[in-house]
Chain A
Amino acid sequence: MSRTKRLIQAYRQAPWRKQVQLVGFIVAGVAIVALIAGIYLDVTARAATMGRAVQSLQGAREDLEQNLEDLETELAYLNSVATMHARAEKLGFQELSSSLVTYLPVSGYEGRADAQLAPNLASQFSTGSRLPTAYTQSLFDWFGGLFKSLGGF
């Protein structure tokens, strides 16, 4: 008896087998869909949570920036010329006149530096190559360098 005939005979004898198989497929399908939906839901929920965190951090950053501006301005009020003069006078200091100044040469002192609030744009660009010489020199250059380091001609 061929294999096909045996299967047909088996089905005729117990048709519920096929139904159980069908139900099994459906249940498996539903389980897969549920799994995918669960994963999707989980990922979406996590993304939403992260999104909320990002929104919250954006708000916090705005608050901090505003607070920073407030504090900087507050500090500037406390260090303003009028306030500092009043404090100096209260502490018994007087204004320095040119006749009272003693000048001393200090080697290497260049005087007061101007305000540098951020890296200078020019200093961010190096004129030379940043690559090590091994990446740029030719074989002859390398040999030349080697000879030099060995004290050659």
Chain B
Amino acid sequence: MNRELTWRYLMAATVLSVMGLLILWQTFRIQSGPRATTFLNQSEFYSRLLRRIQPPRGQIFDRDGNLLAGNRTVYEIGVELASVEDPRDIAIALSALVGADYNTVLTIASQPASENAIYAVLADYVPPENIELLKAYDVSRPPQPDVSLLCSNDPALESLICTAHLQRSYPEKDLASSVLGFVSREGIGYFGVEQQYQDLLAGLSETVWVPTDPSRAEEMPEIPAGASLVLTLDRDIQAAVEDILDTNLEQTGAESGTILVMHATTGEILAMASSPRLDLNEFWKYPEIFPDSTPFNRAISQTYEPGSVFKIVTMAAALDKNVVKPDTPFMDTGYIEIGGIGIRNWNGQAWGQQNMLTCLQYSLNVCLAWVGQELGADAFYDYVQEFGFGYTTGIDLAGEARGNVKEPGDQDWYPADLGTNTFGQGIAVTPVQMVMAVSALTNNGQMVIPHIVKSLVQDGSQYNISPQYAGAPITAQTAKTLSEMLAVSLEQEASNALVPGYRVAGKTGTAQIPGPNGYLNNQTNTSFVGWGPVDSPQFIVYVWIEKPSTSIWASDIAAPIFSEVVERLVVLMNIPPDALRLELAAAGAN
């Protein structure tokens, strides 16, 4: 190799080395120079995206797996401000096809693009049908396959971006609306199950950095979806009960009402109908449908004086305490004075010689006030407390009221209250409290807590929820005796509540309505609580109708509704008539 060649090699090597060193030096200079932090921040900024991940809200099913609350895709329409050619085209299109306000869209789309104004939302919760219309806005151009984010193929609308997201949807519209509650556009549950189980249903929404580097794709966090709930509600029973309630409210000219159906032994709520109801897909109509302080679900939130249905509690306490027996005689003179207040029967008449069974059958206030007096205030209010009055039942629905029970020792309690409370006056309860109290009669003296969620589905597993009990205020013997008394009293009275083929027990309640100047004239709340079949209770039905205009008596209003509900219930619950059921049971035993 000659010298000249060697020299050339050396020169080339030197130049290349110097260039390499210069590159290294420049790299070092950039990384340690004054703008190093800026570059570092920029590189970090582009390496990941800040994204808020909202997992899909859990679904809600009835006990048979029918979907009551699900999710459906809707779209947010936004605009890339820098790409807007003519905001008027956008405003015209969106006002015509999406129903957006022309001037609002025009104002937003006319904003000049800047560092702080890159993208602006023009409309949200737009259904897919409207997006299809928008996509087909320019029919002269064929759809382009790689523009899924773009709302329209029309060049004038190319700056629009449609982003899909989920919105709560209620396929049954207003069915069981008072139980389900609704979800606002911010994803917050209001009332009912949606509010009570908000955290479980919504899941954990997280704001996370998502790496844009494909080699770090596995770092994408897995956000679990919200839990789904299976309710104890039976969609068919719920629909039947709502239908009966609506029809009867119309026929009786009543202001409002509620019907509650609970499984007698498990506490599962099978149906809970309340008026008025809201199409949950149009939840923004809530203030219009529920003006002032109208309860969303009367079965749990409405407190009222129960009237004579409360006599069940008084008699249960007296029987349990051995103060009276079913055949204990009572001479009804039509008047009794307790705490300086005179108490009369519902018709103001004296009913003569009676016993405890007929006292319940004819719903005699004087007799029950006497029973309360014999029982004594302390024992009576102990039982009232043990039956759960004055406390929430613990039903898993948002918005449950406690009711109001005055007791000896309270500033506003007077000895006269003992007399009126025994027949359900001067005490405020909720329908669900009454049903829980009555469950002691269908469960051998043990009260079952009403509940609405049957099971919870999360992470691919189903968790079943067992019945919970709230103590035993009375003995099994008392429960059986009183149940029999109430069944016989209905039969002897030939009550409108009777159901052919099925033996039921229950009690009517006609309660006067307290006003600012005493009780209102000719206006009552009528109710009926009943259960059956008496020998093996399967259901408890509570009917409450507010201010009916065709009659003021529960025996005319609430009792027939109970009968109507039970007639539908036995079909939907597959309960054969008593005779056949006992025959089948006997055959099975043999």
Is B45 engaged at the interface, CB distance under 8 Å to the other chain? no
Q: Once bound together, how far apart are the Cα atoms of A121 and B501, in whole Å?
A: 41
Select B460's contact among A16, A76, A79, A118, beta carbons within 8 Å.
A118
A30 CB to closest chain B CB (Å) equals: 12
- Is A76 within 8 A of B171, CB to CB? yes
Contacts of A73 in B (CB 8 A): 67, 70-72, 169, 171
Select B462's contact among A19, A51, A121, beta carbons within 8 Å.
A121
B81 CB to closest chain A CB (Å) equals: 25
- Is B171 within 8 A of A77, CB to CB? yes
Q: Interface readout for B138-180 with A: 1 if CB under 8 Å, 0 if not?
A: 0000000000000000000000000010100101110100000
Q: Once bound together, how far apart are the Cα atoms of A32 and B1, in whole Å?
A: 26
Is A81 engaged at the interface, CB distance under 8 Å to the other chain? yes
- Is B570 within 8 A of A98, CB to CB? yes
> Interface with A: B55-63, B88-96, B346-354, which one?
B55-63
A69-B73, A81-B236 are known contacts. Are A97 and B230 too (CB-CB below 8 A)? no
Contacts of A66 in B (CB 8 A): 56, 73, 164, 166
Chain B interface residue count: which class? 35 or more
- Is B215 within 8 A of A48, CB to CB? yes
A70-B73, A120-B461 are known contacts. Are A76 and B580 too (CB-CB below 8 A)? no
Is B39 engaged at the interface, CB distance under 8 Å to the other chain? no
A79-B66, A97-B567 are known contacts. Are A55 and B217 too (CB-CB below 8 A)? yes
Is A80 engaged at the interface, CB distance under 8 Å to the other chain? yes
B213 CB to closest chain A CB (Å) equals: 7
Which label, helix, strand, loop or mixed, suits the secondary structure of the B interface?
mixed
- Is A115 within 8 A of B64, CB to CB? yes
Q: How many residues of A contact B (CB 8 A)?
A: 47
- Is B65 within 8 A of A117, CB to CB? yes
- Is A118 within 8 A of B571, CB to CB? no
A73-B169, A103-B580, A118-B461 are known contacts. Are A111 and B574 too (CB-CB below 8 A)? yes
- Is A105 within 8 A of B230, CB to CB? no
Q: Once bound together, how far apart are the Cα atoms of A121 and B458, in whole Å?
A: 10
Is B464 engaged at the interface, CB distance under 8 Å to the other chain? yes
Is B23 engaged at the interface, CB distance under 8 Å to the other chain? no
Q: Interface readout for B291-317 with A: 1 if CB under 8 Å, 0 if not?
A: 000000000000000000000000000
Contacts of A36 in B (CB 8 A): none
- Is B217 within 8 A of A119, CB to CB? no
Contacts of A101 in B (CB 8 A): 571, 576
A81-B236, A117-B462 are known contacts. Are A72 and B67 too (CB-CB below 8 A)? yes
Can you show 29 pairs from A to B with CB atoms below 8 A apart? A50-B217, A66-B56, A66-B73, A66-B164, A70-B73, A73-B71, A73-B171, A77-B171, A82-B173, A85-B239, A101-B571, A103-B576, A105-B588, A111-B574, A112-B64, A112-B574, A114-B454, A115-B62, A115-B63, A115-B230, A115-B455, A118-B461, A118-B462, A119-B460, A119-B461, A119-B462, A120-B461, A121-B462, A122-B464
Having A120-B462, A122-B464, one finds 17 other A-B pairs with CB under 8 Å, namely A48-B214, A50-B214, A55-B220, A72-B59, A72-B67, A72-B70, A80-B175, A81-B239, A101-B571, A105-B587, A105-B588, A114-B64, A114-B454, A116-B462, A118-B457, A119-B460, A120-B464
A residues in contact (CB < 8 Å) with B: 16, 19, 44, 47-52, 54-55, 58, 65-67, 69-70, 72-77, 79-82, 85, 96-99, 101, 103, 105, 111-112, 114-122, 124
